[in-house]
A and B are shown apart, each in its own frame.
Chain A
Amino acid sequence: MKWEMSRVVKTVTDILVAPIIIFGIYLILHGHLTPGGGFQGGAVIASSTALLIIAYGTLGKHKKDLSSIEAVGLTLFILIAFLGIGSTVFYNYITGTGFPFGGSLPYHGPNPGYINTGGTITFMNLMVGIEVAAALSLILWMMSKRGGVMEPKGSSSKKAEGKD
């Protein structure tokens, strides 16, 4: 069944998607300074996907891309954690070094909100954000269709799509 929303809904969606994604990125990057963080920001980004699915009824052919992005986010998260292996796993090895914006900052005490005070936490938030955004988008995409992730032998994904 193919269905579409009215032009009003589509236009409002087109306008709103960009601010929603930017707000999500803001939440992710400031996760170590303000309420929010990777999960919340990712969920906000995924809500833009929900909007797109409602307005247009489809995401195009990006299902496999989403699951790859999710896996990449998680892999990078673990790699960032393991880079601290010289001390211990999850050791925060870039606080106080000024990476990546230069200018070493103290990581204690109040500050006006410098992003690179969090060290690895910022980057881990980023990876969690990527993972959650992709995973929740994928879940919404799955729920908007009838099929499951894993089809039984013999019924290919093409066939399952043909049914809709």
Chain B
Amino acid sequence: MTWDTLVTNSPTFILGIPLLFAFLTALSGRFSKKIGDTLFFIALIATAFFVSLMSYEVLTGESWFYVFGAEQPSPENIRSFFRITFAADGFAVLATITIMITAVAAGIYSYGFMKFETGLNKFYTLFLLTLAGVNGMVLTGDLFNLFVWFEVTSVASCALVAFKNYRGESVEAALKYMILSTVGGLVILFSIGLLYGQHGVLNYALLREGITGSFIDKLALGLVMVILAMKASSVPMHMWAPDAYGEAPGSVTPFIAITSLGSLFVLFRLLFSVFSLTVVSGSILIILGTLSMIIGVSMALVQSDLKRLIAYLSVSQVGYMMMAVGVGLATLNTGDYDSFGELAMQGGLFHMINDGVYKALLFLSAVAVVHVTDIRSLNDLGGLAHKMPYVTFFFLLGALSIAGIPPLSGFSSKLLIYKSVYLYSPILAIVALVVSIITLAIIGKAFFNAFLGPDQGLVKRRVSKTMLLGMGILTVALVLFTLFPNIVVTEVVTPAIDALTETFEGVIP
């Protein structure tokens, strides 16, 4: 097996390795716990390796379509195959990098956090299955395959939410999430059926040729959009998110959040690459995004539970991305796209990768607080900075970044969004600014309540080293994004935008 083979096949390894090791960890639970731990970390590191391999190849060389089961990985004419295809392009690179940073951090954090739970090999299995599912969702270039990975993600992440099944709240949250995901999966299947009946193909690139904007196309688009926005915890359909985020085992909370970010990636891919109804869907994205920002932040205002507070803030952050990318989509193929649409896209997609990092950091440090004190309510916390300096620092970094305070990476992406959205409609930019200020007030209140003040002696146990290491990885990523936002935007985000707007040009001869 040569190096080239590894590079060309890297999209399948990104899925195959988590799947293979998921079942191996399930098997190893019979023999010893240590084997399960080792296999889990091997799987995480190997997946991260193949993600970086694929990213390097795409960002320096060319993107490619991977056809499963064909004699050549990228045959000349994909029209002759009814086969599953994967699109390894700039957009997939952006999405998989975002997912892998959080996955590695959450995986390492889990080792210290879940030490005292039973059935850990099943936890590893579910974690790796979710990882494979999310990566599959963003990598696939086939509509039915998308449904399969959607279901894999839903089932595995529902089971992850319910992992501590001796707590009634976890089971309730998982049931809510599961009912919504299952109904969502069926609705997606229905709309895939509509599209297949109309056009006879499932491949994104081939489907795009057939989409004309007829009533059936619009119906299918609406159904898919509603369900993916629901999974992305956009506002009218956000009610599952605070429950699921709040009740999942602490270490996987950012990972559940990453599955919703993955759904948002898929939504953008479908809206840009498959459905060419840009103005309508762009306007809907803007409306949903604005609603998410306002309602998410005003719900966060009244929360006293630390994890639920961050969950509502993450709902409002999803609004920023939807609004910015919506502006890009609404102005696509017009003169406005060159003047500010592309800037809005850059801001939105850069905000996604930022958000994946700082949201995970906030969640993990909030979970560390709950782990150490056994207290969830902000009213009872206080003075933790005396005993937990590292966690305080991590939380502060995440808090400043989510509020968009100047030197941090959250500011860079939000500035791009303000600048570009202002040119589209000043009201949207003002809403975004006001929401950002309220976010600062909320997260400042949370920081003040939990960490500052006299030491109240609430610390019951230590934060283990692996938990600190997990948060440290995220901090390194955050600092890198803070120091070099221009490099991230030009090297990672711009290829992703090109992949979205060029819509598989050159794939079909």
Q: Does B116 contact A (CB under 8 A)?
A: yes
Per-residue interface assignment for chain A, residues 73 to 92, with 1 indicating a CB less than 8 Å from any chain B CB and 0 otherwise? 01100110110111111111
Once A150-B165, A152-B165 are accepted as A-B contacts, the answer to whether A88 and B69 lie under 8 Å apart by CB is: yes
Which A residues are in CB contact (< 8 Å) with B67? Answer: 88
Q: Does B5 contact A (CB under 8 A)?
A: yes
Interface centre among A68, A86, A88 (most CB of B within 10 A): A88
Once A88-B70, A89-B9, A150-B165 are accepted as A-B contacts, the answer to whether A75 and B27 lie under 8 Å apart by CB is: yes
The DSSP consensus for interface residues of chain A is helix
**Cβ of A75 and Cβ of B70 under 8 Å apart?**
no
Q: Which of B17-25, B183-191, B220-228, B333-341 contacts A (4 or more CB under 8 A)?
A: B17-25
**Cβ of A150 and Cβ of B116 under 8 Å apart?**
no
Q: Does A100 contact B (CB under 8 A)?
A: no
Q: Please report the total number of A residues contacting B with Cβ < 8 Å.
A: 27
Please, how many angstroms separate the alpha-carbon atoms of A78 and B73 in the complex? 18
**Cβ of B71 and Cβ of A150 under 8 Å apart?**
no
Once A85-B5, A88-B72 are accepted as A-B contacts, the answer to whether A79 and B166 lie under 8 Å apart by CB is: no
Taking the closest CB of chain A, its distance from the CB of B76, in whole angstroms, is 14
Q: Does B30 contact A (CB under 8 A)?
A: yes
**Cβ of A67 and Cβ of B26 under 8 Å apart?**
yes
Which B residues are in CB contact (< 8 Å) with A68? Answer: 27, 30
**Cβ of A150 and Cβ of B122 under 8 Å apart?**
yes
**Cβ of A150 and Cβ of B118 under 8 Å apart?**
yes
Within 8 Å by CB of B16, from A78, A91, A92, lies A78
Number of A-B residue pairs with CB-CB distance less than 8 Å in the complex they form: 75
**Cβ of B165 and Cβ of A148 under 8 Å apart?**
yes
Is the interface on chain B under 10, 10 to 19, 20 to 34, or 35 or more residues? 20 to 34
**Cβ of B71 and Cβ of A87 under 8 Å apart?**
yes
**Cβ of A149 and Cβ of B122 under 8 Å apart?**
yes
**Cβ of B20 and Cβ of A150 under 8 Å apart?**
no
Please, how many angstroms separate the alpha-carbon atoms of A85 and B13 in the complex? 10
Q: Does B505 contact A (CB under 8 A)?
A: no
Q: Does A64 contact B (CB under 8 A)?
A: yes
Please, how many angstroms separate the alpha-carbon atoms of A92 and B71 in the complex? 9
Q: Does B406 contact A (CB under 8 A)?
A: no
A 15-55 contacts with B by CB, 8 A: none
Taking the closest CB of chain A, its distance from the CB of B391, in whole angstroms, is 25
Per-residue interface assignment for chain A, residues 124 to 135, with 1 indicating a CB less than 8 Å from any chain B CB and 0 otherwise? 000000000000
Q: Does A161 contact B (CB under 8 A)?
A: no
With CB as the reference atom, state the residue of chain B lying closest to A120. Answer: B69
Please, how many angstroms separate the alpha-carbon atoms of A71 and B24 in the complex? 7
Please, how many angstroms separate the alpha-carbon atoms of A90 and B70 in the complex? 8
Taking the closest CB of chain B, its distance from the CB of A143, in whole angstroms, is 16
**Cβ of A78 and Cβ of B118 under 8 Å apart?**
no
Q: Does A151 contact B (CB under 8 A)?
A: yes
Taking the closest CB of chain A, its distance from the CB of B314, in whole angstroms, is 28
Per-residue interface assignment for chain B, residues 83 to 125, with 1 indicating a CB less than 8 Å from any chain A CB and 0 otherwise? 0000000000000000000000000000000001111001000
Q: Does B68 contact A (CB under 8 A)?
A: yes
Within 8 Å by CB of B1, from A85, A88, A92, A152, lies A85
Please, how many angstroms separate the alpha-carbon atoms of A70 and B122 in the complex? 13
Taking the closest CB of chain B, its distance from the CB of A28, in whole angstroms, is 19
Q: Does A12 contact B (CB under 8 A)?
A: no
Q: Does A153 contact B (CB under 8 A)?
A: yes
**Cβ of A79 and Cβ of B70 under 8 Å apart?**
no
**Cβ of B30 and Cβ of A64 under 8 Å apart?**
yes
With CB as the reference atom, state the residue of chain A lying closest to B9. Answer: A85
**Cβ of A89 and Cβ of B20 under 8 Å apart?**
no
**Cβ of A75 and Cβ of B24 under 8 Å apart?**
yes
Taking the closest CB of chain A, its distance from the CB of B26, in whole angstroms, is 4
B 14-44 contacts with A by CB, 8 A: 16, 19-20, 23-24, 26-27, 30
**Cβ of B19 and Cβ of A78 under 8 Å apart?**
yes
**Cβ of B122 and Cβ of A90 under 8 Å apart?**
no
Taking the closest CB of chain B, its distance from the CB of A43, in whole angstroms, is 18
Within 8 Å by CB of B69, from A71, A72, A74, A92, lies A92
Chain B residues in the interface with A (C-beta under 8 A): 1, 5, 9, 12, 16, 19-20, 23-24, 26-27, 30, 66-73, 116-119, 122, 163-166
Chain A residues in the interface with B (C-beta under 8 A): 64, 67-68, 70-72, 74-75, 78-79, 81-82, 84-92, 148-153
Question: Would you list 20 pairs from A and B whose C-beta atoms are within 8 A, ordered by A residue?
Answer: A74-B19, A75-B20, A75-B24, A78-B19, A78-B20, A85-B9, A86-B5, A87-B73, A88-B67, A88-B68, A89-B12, A89-B16, A89-B68, A90-B68, A91-B71, A92-B69, A150-B122, A150-B163, A150-B165, A153-B117
Besides A74-B23, A85-B5, A152-B166, 11 other A-B contacts (C-beta < 8 A)? A71-B26, A71-B27, A88-B12, A88-B66, A89-B9, A89-B16, A91-B71, A148-B165, A150-B118, A150-B165, A151-B118
